Amino acid sequence: MYLKQISGNTLVRDRSAADGYLCKMAKKEKQNIRELTLAEIETYLATLGEKKFRAKQVYEWLWLKPVQHFDGMTNISKELRAKLAEDFRLPGLTVDTTQVSSDGTIKMRFKTHDGHMIEGVLIPTSTRYTACVSSQIGCSLSCKFCATGYMTRKRNLEFDEIYDEVALLNKECEKVHGKKISNIVYMGMGEPLLNYKNVLRSIERITAADGMAMSPRRITVSTAGVSKGIRQLGDDKVKFKLALSLHAANDSKRHEIMPINDTNNIKTLVDALNYFYKQTKNEITFEYILFKNFNDSPIDADELTKVYRQVPADLVNIIEYNPIDLAKYEKPDAATTENFIRILEKNRVNTRLRRSRGKDIDAACGQLANKNS
C-alpha cells in the first residue's frame, strides 16, 4: 500500500492523492498587484528586463485611472499584460446596476470579484458632490432602523475595493456633472471601525499624491460607536473628520435601537470622543435620526443638549428617518421636527437638518440593502 506523510500528521494513502495534495500546496494564490508599492513593481519589472518607466505606467493604471483587468492597460505591450495576469490578480469592483433618483441622487451597485454586492451613492448638491461608500459586505451591528443591519455580514471590504467604490462614483460624477467628487463619507453599508485597517489604508490611497490626492479634511468616517476604534483613531493622529451615529441621548433608548450600546455606552463614547479630539483636534459631528414618539420629545432634545455639551462637537445633524420594510419606526411630522430643532438652537446647539436624498431608489440614509431591481 502506498502511504506517504506529506507534512506534519497529514497522511495520503495513494499516489494520485499525494501528487494532487502537493500540487495544491505548491499552487499559491496569486498576489493582488495593488498590494505592491511603486518600488516593488519596479523591482518586479526589472526582473523581466522591462524599463523603469513601465512601472509608473502600471501604477497609474492601478490608482490614477483604475482598470478592472490587465487588458485595460492599453499603453503597455500585450506580452507584459499577459505576464502580469499570469503572476498577479487584479480583483477590482465592477458596476452591476445604476439607478438615478428624481432628485439627482445616483445609487450604484458594485459586484466584487467573489460575487458579493455592495452599494455606494453619489449625492449632488449645488455646492458639492459627495460619495457615500460602504466598508463591509453587510453588517454585524443589527441597528433596528437600518436596512443593512438586517443583513448578514459576509466579510470586510479590502482597501482597494473601497478605493474602487470612490473611483467608480467619481467616474460617474464626471460623466453626469462634468466635475470630480468633492467629499467622501464612509456612511454606507457596514461599520468602518470594525474594518479599521482597510478603511485607513483606503483613505491613505485616496489622499495620496499618486492616488486621488483628495484632502483628508473632505473625508468623514461615521461610526455607530466603537469606542476602542475611536481612541485608536486618536492614537493614529488621523486627519479626517469623525461622525458618531448617536440617535438617542440616553442609554436605555439607545440600547433599544442600537445593540452596540450595551458594550459602548454613551459615557464610554463621550470619553472616547474627547480623547480623539485631544489627540487630533479634528471635527466631530453627532448624527441623530428622529423617530416618531421615540426620541423626538422636548425631553429628548434636552438630553441631546447635555451630551453635546460634554464633547467639543461642531455640529448635530438631525436626519429625517427613511422607513424600511423590516422596521416599525416612523418619521415625525414637520411640526415636531421643527420644535425639536428649535429647542436645540435655543440651547445653543449648532444644528442642521439633513434632508433625505434618493428615497425613491432606496439610496437614502439607512436604506442600503442591495434591493436594486
Q: Tell me which residues are annotated as active site.
A: 119, 365
- Beta pairing class for 284-289 and 315-319: parallel
Neighbours of 50 (CB within 10 A): 19
Q: Name residue, grid cell 489622499.
A: 207
- Helices and strands in the chain, H and E counts: 11, 16
- Beta pairing class for 94-100 and 88-89: unpaired
Distance CA 81, CA 370 (A): 34
At residue 295, what are phi and psi to the nearest 5 degrees?
-135, 30
> How remote is the C-alpha of 51 from its chain's centroid?
37
Q: Which residues pair with 11 in a beta bridge?
A: 5
Neighbours of 215 (CB within 10 A): 12
Residue type, 153: R
Q: Within a 13 Å sphere around the CA of 302, how many CA atoms are in the beta-carbon half?
A: 3
Best CA proximity match to 55, nearest among 63, 46, 64: 46
DSSP letters of 246-283?
A: ---SSHHHHHHH-GGGGTS-HHHHHHHHHHHHHHH---
Helix (H) or strand (E) holding 318: strand 315-319
At residue 245, what are phi and psi to the nearest 5 degrees?
-80, 95
- Beta pairing class for 10-12 and 315-319: unpaired
At residue 180, what are phi and psi to the nearest 5 degrees?
-80, 160
Best CA proximity match to 260, nearest among 364, 356, 353, 146: 146
